[in-house]
Structure 1
Amino acid sequence: MMDRGFLAQLEGYGLTTAEIHFYLPDAPSILQLFIWQEYDLAPDFPVLFDFLDHWRREIEGALHSVRIGHDRLIRPTEWRPVNHVLQLE
């Protein structure tokens, strides 16, 4: 049996992390944080936006901001081996 995450990566999905900042009605002066993580497609993020639509419909917390991290948004641009050694004395 294959791992669901592995199969999603084969289909082009990458691990997406979202920091969701929100306020609750009973404590409007307190900014709260919810971390969401799932495999999603960058740059459209259909899974995340479905979750955020669900949040707006079903959860009483008013959204303040959402910060998204995805392996296609944040990654080294190039990797190459270095064949030199630097000695510090």
Structure 2
Amino acid sequence: MTTNETELMLKGYGLTTAEFFYHMPDFKHVLNTFIWQEYDLAPDHPRLFKFIEFWQDQIEGPLHSVRFTHRKMMSSGEWRNVVGEFTLH
């Protein structure tokens, strides 16, 4: 079952953006960057750490460092359903 972004935000998820610095597989002295973005739960960040584990297991370029930020866009107390219609002449 897929969940849309609004449902995730109402469940407490926020947008996590991570910048991965990694060594190029053929040129170990060269650093490259990769940007990753996903809705995740702070402070544990299970999706981010799952992606880091995937990177370490499946990607040839060894990680140098990861820098990330998390922004909670909406909480359940900030959202309310409003039904109405305005007519402008």
TM-score (norm 2): 0.74
Equivalence for 1:50: 50
Distance in 2 (CA, whole Å) between partners of 1:25 and 1:34 is 14
Equivalence for 1:34: 34
Distance in 2 (CA, whole Å) between partners of 1:13 and 1:50 is 16
Q: 5+ unaligned residues in a row in structure 2: which ranges?
A: 73-89
- The Cα of 1:4 is off from its aligned counterpart by 1.2
- The Cα of 1:29 is off from its aligned counterpart by 1.2
Distance in 2 (CA, whole Å) between partners of 1:25 and 1:15 is 30
**CA deviation map 1:8-66 (0-9, x unaligned):** 10110000000000002201111100000000011110000000100000000100000
**SS of alignment partner, residue 52 of structure 1:** helix
Counterpart mapping for 1:10-89 below 5 A: 10-71=10-71
Displacement over 4 Å in runs of 4+: none
User: CA RMSD for the aligned pairs?
Assistant: 1.6
Name the % identity: 53
Q: Which amino acid aligns with 1:43?
A: P
TM-score (norm 1): 0.74
Q: 5+ unaligned residues in a row in structure 1: which ranges?
A: 73-89
- The Cα of 1:7 is off from its aligned counterpart by 1.0
Q: Which amino acid aligns with 1:18?
A: A
